[in-house]
Amino acid sequence: MFEKTRTVVAVAMLTVATYATAVEVNGGHPETYVVQKGDTLWDISARFLKKPWLWPEIWQANPQVKNPHLIYPGDVLSLAYLDRVVAQPGPRQEAPINAIPLSQVEPFLKQLSVVDEIASLPDVVGLEDNRLRATTGQVAYVRGLDGAQVGQRWAVVRPTVRFSLPKPTEDLTAHGRVTPGSGNLWANFVAEPSQRREVLGYELAQLNVGTVTKLPDGRSDVTTLSLQGRVDGREVRAGDRLVPVEATPYDLQFVPHAPAAQTEGLDMRVLAVTDMYLSGGPRDVIAISAGSANGIDNGTVVSLWRQGRHVADRKKYPGSSRMDDSLTDGAGRISLPDEYAAHAMVFRTFDKVSYALVMQGVKPVLVGYSAKHPDAQ
């Protein structure tokens, strides 16, 4: 199922551009098209439009269609004019066709979140039978769950990295502290230092979900938590933190679109590739250094680029010992252009960090790559 979605969205995202009132239609199109059961907006858009991501805005220009993100089997689309797309409502006897349902991408998403700080979060101080690790059906003892009630559910999470710039990621120890020197590694993969210098947040990876079974009493200072739902085979250990369970962490559908105008000129980078060391590809989750505070929302599409390297001028300096793949410019070097790698769609946003799913690409995506407008050249 995802293969179909990935192909459709990849075609759509390859031609993303700024909004235009006139719609470019591919040649050889029929005068009308009747929407079939099983179609999606992006199937139809990729088939007939040169800029298929503009489909939602085109529907908004047709007042007879109440919801620009929904079409129905039986709707008749007029493609008679190169600069117009007109919709004629169908019988409305079947369920509407959405953009990209969550069910088609959810298997590839990760249970990750980002917070501004972790020092104040409740933490696991011990495990049943003084174990080193615990899993579903076992007990964890938690400090700091003030005001908790028996029966409440909490997510057990582990701080994994600190996102910041100019160092994209810094690994965290079991106690949530930055591992000394871990951020220096990324300097080998980032072409030029970011102009932004700030801590963007701390990543939390969900491990389990537990239910409060016993509150602190006069003999104990901790809350007892029964573990009930392990994630990705990971076990709980002392030092892990707790956050409230989110009922709906993801949107039910996503409509791909270009970034908001306020992101223009913003230095956006790939901060990390989830569950990978340095690189990833289609179906992998990445973190980028922009979030809701920067105008990024769910469905935002970006293109990912390898920054242009600087090679030695062998014609002018044939005896030069300069490296051929330098990250910085300098005398005796020729600067190469940036290289396109892939497109990605944001599926979860936080204040200064967003998670995106790599949907299509021509080469692997590495930590430090730039995130640009999807129609960047």
For 72-98, the pLDDT digits (tens) are 787 776 554 434 445 555 555 555 555
Strand, helix or coil at 161?
A: strand
- Dihedral angle of Cα 285, 290, 295, 298, to the nearest 10 degrees: 10
**pLDDT computed for residue 168 by the predictor:** 75
Computed on alpha carbons and rounded to an integer, the radius of gyration of the chain in Å comes to 25
Is 296:346 a contact under the CB 8 Å cutoff?
yes
237-274 pLDDT, tens digit each? 999 999 999 877 887 777 778 888 888 888 899 998 88
CA angle 152, 158, 162 (to 5 degrees): 130
Average pLDDT over residues 139-164: 93
Average pLDDT over residues 121-135: 94
Q: Indicate whether 17 pLDDT > 60.
A: no
Q: Indicate whether 142 pLDDT > 90.
A: yes
CB atoms within 10 A of CB 217: 8
User: d(Cα 77, Cα 90) in Å, to the nearest integer?
Assistant: 10
- The least confident of 9-13, 276-280, 347-351 is 9-13
The tokens describing 350, both together, are 């936080």
Q: Indicate whether 45 pLDDT > 70.
A: no
Q: Indicate whether 46 pLDDT > 50.
A: yes
Helix extents (H) in 15-52: 41-48
22-36 pLDDT, tens digit each? 455 555 556 667 777
Average pLDDT over residues 45-73: 58
Cα-flanking dihedrals φ and ψ of residue 164, to 5°? -160, 170
Is 187:305 a contact under the CB 8 Å cutoff?
no
The tokens describing 129, both together, are 């039978």
Average pLDDT over residues 98-103: 65
**pLDDT computed for residue 304 by the predictor:** 94
- How far, rounded to the nearest angstrom, does the alpha carbon of residue 266 sit from its chain's CA centroid? 17
What separation in angstroms does the CA of 350 have from each of 231, 272, 332?
21, 15, 43
In total, the chain counts a number of residues equal to 377
144: exposed, middle or buried (Cβ count in 10 Å: 0-12, 13-18, 19+): middle
Average pLDDT over residues 218-225: 91
pLDDT, greater one: 102 or 317? 317
> What pTM was estimated for this model as a whole?
0.73
